[in-house]
Structure 1
Amino acid sequence: MTRTHTDQIFCPQVLYKKRDCPFLFPETVRTSRSLIQVVTRGSIVTLGLLIVLGTLGVSITPLIASRGITSLAVALALQPTLENVFSGIQLVTDKPVRVGDFIELETGEQGFVEKIGWRSTWVRMLQNNTVILPNSSLAQSKIINYFYPEKELSVPVEVGVHYSADLEHVERFTLEVARKFLISHGWGVDDYKTLVVYTSFGDSRVNFTVMLRVKEYFNRFWVRSAFIKALHQRYKAEGIVIPFPIRAINTSQESAQIQVPQAEP
């Protein structure tokens, strides 16, 4: 069976395996090796040429001076590129993001890190397009890494019950449903200690939050959906009411006396 990128979006464990095995991603290694080889060969050839010229009695001082000026001009012209190169080295050494990580950019875009090169980093968006970021921009921006320091993620679920409900019973039934759900569901963290925290008094209900935990970032959508259905079914069986929004409208108004002016004779 051929895996599409859609499979990678909903089954990101494929990317985890690649991230954990760097040899499956030889792009960065090949790029690094090629760049190092080019720089090394160029330096050796230049040094050898200068030695040969010096042996032949040719004054190499003007050549060195002109080469220094040329190098300075080239360095100024390549300043953005060099900045990206050193930022790429910083990303590789500090590892704020790694190949296979799911990140959120400062602009709000989300995607998988596909490649970290010397000049740019490639991020595959959920829409199956790719954003190519200069390493300098990525190194200086704020990034949310949903796979660091671990893959597990807490999922808050907001719930509300009627004011007439017994809150102790509500908490007990909710915890029972949540714990059984995390154990039985393949994407839930079964050893997580579920929490129920009452947060506020609403217009027509008492609000609280149920804390769940999932194994991976993308599991949160399906786990939250399945838990809401399971909790609604249990509340219905126990007679716990989730109220509709209630608004009291006062329509009584004082009758206004309208005086009609009489026409002059």
Structure 2
Amino acid sequence: MEPAIREARPGDKPFIEEIAKLTWGGEDYIARVFDGWLGDNFYVLEVDGKAVGTAKLTILPCKVGWLEGLRVHPDYRGRGFGRMLHSFMLELGRNLAEEGKIEALEFATYFLNKESISMAESTGFQVRAKFFVMGAPAGETEEPFVVEPSISDITLGTLPVGWRFLHRCEETVEWLRKNAVLYELNGLRFIGPKEGATFTALDPGPAVLRELMPAMGWVAKGRGFDHFDVMIPSAMGAVLPSLRRIGFELWDETEEPNVLVFGRRI
């Protein structure tokens, strides 16, 4: 049977759970979001009656089509299926642009994901932002306050919310109210998605992060994680030694930013 790309169905979930168990050491989030993604530009690549790959397009504020969830089962890699899914999503993006729903496609990837980077560069994507993702154990904790976001809270030109990266516009504020949580401790604020444990301090300096670590740890533990990650803008690269001294570590040792945000107009 020829490979075919189609919308994901409820019956695909066992196959997606298998892919998740074999991705990122079993820590892939795809299985957790499967139900919520159904019916919302979520596609699978079917081979011999089973879903062996996935891809998702999420419409974000400021008319951005966010590409995420591109996966191929390890047993089916090396056969061009990742590029097939990527090309399909580009065509979907062009259709949405013709309908006036988006004006650009963007996605983020880890710096070691050479295949995704190669596909992006060969299809007109360019890096538009860079970050360091660093992790720390959830040690001593302190409960933060939850506050309502406003446009003044979007202090970064590109705002990471977990592994999605948003532009600054009024529409983003409404999106944050529905899809993220803004926390405050001792007058300092950080933001994260409603699930997971990847956060962004609105002022990402070492002193601020040191103050916020107990609050980030509190949120992480409440969600079942014993560690959490933070996104640090690439311009803060010089403070990485200070962040290491207070307990943060890079996933892989590198002098360069390890999270790349790509984009292209369509």
Q: Fold-level match, TM-score > 0.5?
A: no
Higher RCO, Cα 8 Å, sep 6+ = 2
Query: Whose helix fraction is larger, Structure 1's or Structure 2's?
Result: 1
More strand by share: 2
TM-score between both structures, scaled by the size of structure 1 = 0.21
Taking structure 2 as the reference length, the TM-score comes to 0.21
